[in-house]
Structure 1
Amino acid sequence: MVEASITRYYTLEDKEYYAPSYYPRNDYQNHKSAKTPIVIDNGSSHCRAGWSSEYEPALIFDNVVSKYRDRRLNQSVLAVGMDALADPAAKSNARSPFDNNIVCDFEKMEYILDYIFVVLGINTPTVNHPIVLTEHPCVPQYSRTRMTELLFEGYQVPSVAYGIDSLFSYHANGGSQDDGGIVIASSNSTTHIIPTLSGKGVLSKTKRIAYGGTQSSEYMLKLMQLKYPTFPTKMTNTQAAELVHQHAFVSPDYQATLKKLETKECFAEMDRIIQFPYTAPVVEEKSEEELERQAAKREENSRRLREAAAKSRLDKLVAREQQMEAFTNLKNAKGTIKKVEWMAQLKEAGFKDEADLDDTLKQLDKAIQRARNKELGIEEIEEKEAPITTLVDIPDEQLDEMEKKEKRKQKLMKANYDARQRAKKAKEEARLRDEEAARIEEQKRRDNPAEWIAEIKQKRQNVVERLKQRKRLASELADRRSRASQLRMKSIANLASDDPKSKRRRKGNDEDTFGQDDDDWAIYREISREDESDEEEEDMSELNQYESLLLQYDPAFLPEHSYENMSSPTNTLLHLLSRGVYPPYDPTDMEQSYQLHVNIERSRVPEVLFQPSIIGLDQAGLVETVNDIVKTFDGSQRENLMKNIFLTGGFSQLPGLSERIYSSLKSIYPVNTKIKVKRARDPVLDAWKGAAMFAQDETKTQYFVSKHEYEEYGSDYIKEHGLGNITQK
């Protein structure tokens, strides 16, 4: 079932850092004499650096710098990379030298280069090794100029070469041998689409989409904050990034994925529960002896209450019997004393006349009998006696004033009695009709069950449609801007006005200005409306009757199909998105209050690559951009480009990205078009490995800018090659 398929709980653990994360190496002599080039993949998120002769970079660290004051040592401390994230004080001051994907803070960049050279074990006053440095496409000349000056003037390096990280990754995967291709580099801050011909990037036709790992993490964080505005724990950017990396995927068809979420079975497959840590309240567990003692105490209290209630009833019965005896003696004393004295005693007892005394004696007798029957447990059926009508048929001429008054009283009592009898008879006739209708329905059900169930379903559907129509009308009337609401308010305001106007305005009359004054709307707001009309109550009663029959006789009609359950807020899609299907939502459960349900966000966040308008980005999607680039080439080149679509960069590791690009391109190109999409062997490290291959290739040394050339041509001078940026002429 659904519950069995969604037993997956996940946690978001903050990554732990330890300082120092790297120690200086002691093998520098092996590289000093050979002047091995140093390769630095300078990414906006992570920096990877090492000797070009090695298979992997010697150090990989977060590209941040922190300057803070250590209170224990009482001195200023400078930390780089993971060392800056290991200490809470340093982490709060950690800053990147990058703005988006451009190096802007060269003071921090110098600290990072110092850190790299120290860890590599370089112990000479200058760095006597060629440097290969990666950069993004179309880096501003000012940024590269400052970097060149820093390397040559600050470290006295012999030569420097720059290259685009994604093209280095393409080179590491054998792309330099291809006739053409398209490199899609989705990294931390941007996504670049670079066409290549003969292994060289065509930067004049390169496009950029301003969406990458950082933007996806920020978007995930915003979605979670909007979804859970009162979540008790604050989610960090790091946790949002982990949500993207661990749970996001690119759906083959985004609209189909949204459609599937409407069914609980498919929703449960996509929903993932993220459990945040919490401290459960301490519940005091009581021993069996304590529970028994409390139960006995409650029983004793209830016994005392019962005894007090019985004593109160007995006291009331005794008081009534005493009153009955006193009033009976007063009644019997009428024949033993003078009438004047007896009337005086009657007035003194609080009675108007003898008839008032008789009514009181009758009521007391009934009350005493009812109380005795209740004590004995006898159920009594109260029968209304027919009223006395001895004076009704006597003409008024034969009656005095007192008797005329009694006659009018008897007429009223007789009319009430007759009305009750007619209502009782009508009720009995209605009961008999209902029994007959139920008998006929039962006979129909037995004769043709399928047809009877279909008829009941149709009747139920008609009632549901009436309820929905009534709700729609109520919603329109509640909306101040709707036409139905405005017409109703206008009529009410006109009726309540001291000088109501006619519905038709004659020529020459003033223009209708209703609604310009808030007092017009105040009249409407003061009118109280009942929550449910009589018609709605009747419809609900009829609907409950039909649903009870379907629950009893239709196996396919389950309790969750009832109108009440279907219209419940807990069955809406919004509730499912925030609370999921499993476990059943309990607002009092503290564990659930610390849970996030990640479902639609898993595919919505990566979908921005294909539909940037989701976040308000005024750019074309990835597939459209690729198509626009391909159109700028001739026919033979297009074929080579489509046969070699290469994905690289950390954000390209999203599951399903290659398949989505392939299926989307396949749908817009002719059937016989050959399309091949492949991902880098290691999308994160291949840029460094490709730069290391470039540095080790002796034929590439001509693309290094030497110290002499720097001094002769200036810091703006670079040498163009197929894997790097170009200068604008």
Structure 2
Amino acid sequence: MNEDVLEVAYLPPPILPSPQFPDSYESYRGQGTPLIIDNGATTLRFGFCTSGSPKSGPNIISKYKDRKTNKPLVLFGDAIDTEPGARNQAKTPWEGDILLNFDALENALDYAFIQLGIDTPNVDHPVMMAERLSSNLHSRALTSELMFELYTVPSLVYCVDSIMSFYHNNKPHGQFTADGLVISFNTASTSVIPILNGRGILSNAKRIPWGSSQVTEYLLRLIQLKYPTFPTRVTSSQANWMLQNFCEFSSDYPTLLRSLSNPVTLSRSGKIIQFPFSQSPVDEKTEEEQARLAERRKEQGKRLQEMAAKARIEKLEAKEKDLREMLELRDRKAQIDELEYSDMLHAEGFENDGALDFAIKKLEASLKKSKKKDGDEEPVSLTVMSVPDTHTLHQDEPANFPLVDVPDTELDEDQLKEKRKQKLLKAGWEARMKVRSEKQREKEEREADERREAEGRERDPAAWAAGLRKNQEAIINRIKDRARRKAALSDRKSAAAQARMKKIASLANDERVPKKRRKGNGDDMFGANDADWAIYRKINTAEQSSDEEEELQQLQMIEQKLLSHDPTFTIEDTHAYISTKRSALISAFKPVYDEGDPAVGKTRIHLNTERWRVCETWFSPSMAGVDSAGIGEVVQNILAAFSVAERARLAQAVFLTGGPSQLPGLAAKMESTLRPILSPEDPLRIVKALDPSTDSWRGMAGFAQTDEFARVGVTKAEYDEWGGERIKKWWGGNWNMAAQVPVWTQLGCSLDTK
């Protein structure tokens, strides 16, 4: 892997939280300054509305018992990391996008009030609290009960966080009358809210059940699938760090994927994340030791080559011996009667003459192929049947065996010996003639096939090329099937691996062995003939069979013909090129480190296609298995409910807020998504929040300092009279001002129409 192309990023070390001390409360005592609380799913932001910036902390609580003092502790935010084991018992007030854990919310509010220095029994400050679009009414009622009953706040106002972020970025000097389409990327959801004349049209607002937490988990699953044997555990917080620092949107995702099909482009687009690892000890050797080791490896390699050559020779000699025995068995047919010859065939494991001839032919072909690999082109029968005697015939000498047809009763002892030699020579000569005739016949058939193929190519080139392409595709598919089978057999839990074990078990229990495959002691000689090796190849995936070699040779021949005669068939269409490109693409997708310390390569994560894939899920949640519309489809449905003039007003300020809105490429992605669904004359302007982490709190703080703030809050007296379901209509809350219909119309609730 070339590390000069890509820069290696290291995981940030864990930072222990610094101690935080409560602020002074004296300047706010008895002033009734509004208190702003942005109860986010990941971060709690709080502070007085006159403060320049809010105080904040991770919105997470852990009730933990100290082992030393055996006293229960309540840890909030970053303090959880100071105690080992506290993280396992942590929980947040939110379950997804719903506020459910009110004991955690109570602890979080206690922490906020303590940090603000409030030391009075009651919180004598009006409170403005943010909530999600279309928040659960029951959760809101319990929150109101907590604020009024436990903390005795004088008044309470709820607002939609994304609307207040839009309010802050438009900075009204008087009445708020801005228009726009607010797209808020939250932790567990994404909401789209149209705003006209400073009023949220919540009857047309939509919420997608897909947020940054789901995207983070999706990225984590992709990493786990890509690196199933990663030595360390990748946490959700680490995946979130990768999402914020390395992931981005693509304005044209399909085009990007096509460009990443090039291994060079894919390699250059990656990001390397180095996880902590332990450096393996380096064993430094002198030059003499290295030379000695190299010489030893060379000798070992030479010894292995000699052993392999010896094994090949022994195997070849064994095959030649088997062939001689089979030929002698066939020659004895003329010397004995038919019944005795049949018994001999069955004793040797052959059913009839045809089975014997087939075995001889197959063994001769195997010997010829083995010798051809070793560089020996000499015909098999000549070497096998030669007899070291002065009467040995040359291949081209005529056949002359005068004693073969003479009866044994007319010959003396020397002539009988000579007759036996001539019979062997005759058998060898006949075998040579048979091989020669078969070669001539194969040559004629091959020439006839070539002539027919040439005639078909000249008559219809398109059909000829289509037929060869079909054969090429069939062979490639068989090669792929074998590769998939080998991959399946590597998994011991797969069906193929279990079937393989069943075959092995059945072979081990099989006692029906022919006599030829038994020694004198009755041992099983499984593997003594070629039929056993067909079974062996099914259970052994490491050895390549002769069928695979023949198919590869046939594939090369077909592709060579297509390259020579088909102008549409190029090198890029060959199996070798496709395999090489695929291997290069896999290597670029997940590089393998062969040099240096292996611990370094094993603790690295390469992000390439995942960088854009996880962000694309906001526009296509179905990629992650979520049955929901994407942002583009939701915006299109929302704009369809407005008139042409209103659509133009909404499109001129598409406001993006929330943490993920700062990811690179989002503005261009929104431009390419929304432009096709708008009229050509409609203006389109994409606006990002100045600071999405605090804009909502700052918008709430700015509104709390206006005269309108006092009119939209529910007072303690109204709560005592009407209960926690009390709702007041106003432009920043979960109440539709235009249609006069609440977002939760299915729930019975009291309405303040004042």
TM-score w.r.t. the length of structure 1 is 0.69
Out of 470, 474, 477, the position equivalent to 2:475 is 470
Distance 1:386 1:595, change over 3 A: farther
Out of 554, 557, 577, the position equivalent to 1:539 is 554
Partner of 1:190: 189
Query: Equivalences for 1:225-240 in 2 at 5 Å?
Result: 225-240=224-239
Partner of 1:378: none
1:650 and 1:245 map into 2 onto residues whose CA distance is 9
Out of 46, 49, 54, the position equivalent to 1:49 is 46
| Cα deviations by residue, 1:654-709 (Å, 9 ceiling, x for unpaired) | 22112111111112222212111111111111000000001111232211222233
Query: Equivalences for 1:4-19 in 2 at 5 Å?
Result: 6-13=5-12, 15-18=14-17
Q: Does the 8 Å contact 1:587/1:593 carry over to 2?
A: no
Distance 1:198 1:540, change over 3 A: closer
Aligned length in residues: 571
| Cα deviations by residue, 1:304-354 (Å, 9 ceiling, x for unpaired) | xxxxxxxxxxxxxxxxxxxxxxxxxxxxxxxxxxxxxxxxxxxxxxxxxxx
Out of 145, 168, 174, the position equivalent to 2:170 is 174
**How far did 1:538 drift?**
4.0
Distance 1:526 1:127, change over 3 A: same
Distance 1:385 1:258, change over 3 A: farther
Distance 1:601 1:538, change over 3 A: closer
1:534 and 1:158 map into 2 onto residues whose CA distance is 86
Q: Does the 8 Å contact 2:472/2:558 carry over to 1?
A: no
Q: Does the 8 Å contact 2:132/2:160 carry over to 1?
A: yes
Partner of 1:687: 696
2:189 and 2:298 map into 1 onto residues whose CA distance is 73
Query: Equivalences for 1:87-236 in 2 at 5 Å?
Result: 87-174=83-170, 177-236=176-235
Partner of 1:494: none
**How far did 1:48 drift?**
0.7
Paired amino acid for 1:400: L
| Cα deviations by residue, 1:254-273 (Å, 9 ceiling, x for unpaired) | 11121112101221232222
The alignment status of 1:675 with 2:687, answered yes or no, reads no
Partner of 1:641: 650
Q: Does the 8 Å contact 1:387/1:417 carry over to 2?
A: no
2:617 and 2:9 map into 1 onto residues whose CA distance is 25
The alignment status of 1:37 with 2:34, answered yes or no, reads yes
**How far did 1:290 drift?**
5.5
Q: Does the 8 Å contact 1:41/1:133 carry over to 2?
A: yes
1:5 and 1:301 map into 2 onto residues whose CA distance is 37
Partner of 1:64: 60
Paired amino acid for 2:418: E
Q: Secondary structure at the match of 1:31?
A: coil
Paired amino acid for 2:391: P
The alignment status of 1:413 with 2:406, answered yes or no, reads no
The alignment status of 1:705 with 2:714, answered yes or no, reads yes
**How far did 1:81 drift?**
1.6
Q: Does the 8 Å contact 1:463/1:539 carry over to 2?
A: no
Distance 1:286 1:384, change over 3 A: same
1:214 and 1:478 map into 2 onto residues whose CA distance is 38
**How far did 1:615 drift?**
2.1
**How far did 1:117 drift?**
1.1
Query: Equivalences for 1:431-446 in 2 at 5 Å?
Result: none
Distance 1:666 1:114, change over 3 A: same
Out of 613, 628, 639, the position equivalent to 1:630 is 639
| Cα deviations by residue, 1:27-79 (Å, 9 ceiling, x for unpaired) | x222224332111111011011112112211x110001111111123211111
Q: Does the 8 Å contact 1:272/1:599 carry over to 2?
A: yes
Distance 1:594 1:385, change over 3 A: farther
Q: Does the 8 Å contact 1:133/1:161 carry over to 2?
A: yes
Partner of 1:86: 82
Q: Secondary structure at the match of 1:32?
A: coil
What is the root-mean-square deviation in Å for CA atoms of aligned residues?
4.4
Out of 411, 422, 425, the position equivalent to 1:400 is 411
The alignment status of 1:273 with 2:277, answered yes or no, reads no
Q: Does the 8 Å contact 1:609/1:622 carry over to 2?
A: yes
Query: Equivalences for 1:158-557 in 2 at 5 Å?
Result: 158-174=154-170, 177-287=176-286, 387=391, 392-393=401-402, 396=406, 400-402=411-413, 403-410=415-422, 412-413=424-425, 416=428, 466-472=471-477, 530-532=545-547, 535-536=550-551, 538-539=553-554
**How far did 1:12 drift?**
2.8
**How far did 1:421 drift?**
10
1:250 and 1:32 map into 2 onto residues whose CA distance is 48
**How far did 1:293 drift?**
7.7
Distance 1:150 1:294, change over 3 A: closer
**How far did 1:135 drift?**
0.8
**How far did 1:711 drift?**
2.7
**How far did 1:412 drift?**
3.5
| Cα deviations by residue, 1:111-141 (Å, 9 ceiling, x for unpaired) | 1111111111122222222211111111122
Paired amino acid for 2:73: V
Q: Does the 8 Å contact 2:188/2:212 carry over to 1?
A: yes
Partner of 1:659: 668
Q: Does the 8 Å contact 1:179/1:640 carry over to 2?
A: no
2:35 and 2:94 map into 1 onto residues whose CA distance is 21
Paired amino acid for 2:181: I
Partner of 1:326: none
Partner of 1:434: none
Distance 1:526 1:205, change over 3 A: same
Distance 1:384 1:697, change over 3 A: farther
1:645 and 1:53 map into 2 onto residues whose CA distance is 29
Partner of 1:438: none
1:642 and 1:411 map into 2 onto residues whose CA distance is 102
| Cα deviations by residue, 1:364-414 (Å, 9 ceiling, x for unpaired) | xxxxxxxxxxxxxxxxxx998863589945794996243144135235436
**How far did 1:92 drift?**
2.1
**How far did 1:719 drift?**
2.4
Paired amino acid for 2:680: V
Q: Does the 8 Å contact 1:191/1:209 carry over to 2?
A: yes
Distance 1:145 1:587, change over 3 A: same
Distance 1:678 1:531, change over 3 A: farther
TM-score w.r.t. the length of structure 2 is 0.66
Distance 1:629 1:247, change over 3 A: same
2:36 and 2:261 map into 1 onto residues whose CA distance is 51
| Cα deviations by residue, 1:431-466 (Å, 9 ceiling, x for unpaired) | xxxxxxxxxxxxxxxxxxxxxxxxxxxx99998975
Paired amino acid for 2:583: N
1:284 and 1:272 map into 2 onto residues whose CA distance is 31
Q: Secondary structure at the match of 1:626?
A: helix
Distance 1:275 1:702, change over 3 A: same
Q: Which moved more, 1:183-192 or 1:226-235?
A: 226-235
Paired amino acid for 2:551: E
2:199 and 2:389 map into 1 onto residues whose CA distance is 111
Distance 1:175 1:656, change over 3 A: farther
Paired amino acid for 1:410: Q
Distance 1:535 1:144, change over 3 A: closer
Percent identical across equivalent pairs? 33
Q: Which moved more, 1:625-634 or 1:264-273?
A: 264-273
Q: Secondary structure at the match of 1:163?
A: strand
Q: Does the 8 Å contact 1:467/1:536 carry over to 2?
A: no
Ranges in structure 1 where 5+ consecutive residues have no aligned partner: 303-381, 431-458, 481-524, 551-556
| Cα deviations by residue, 1:146-200 (Å, 9 ceiling, x for unpaired) | 2222222222222221111101100001176455221111111110111111111
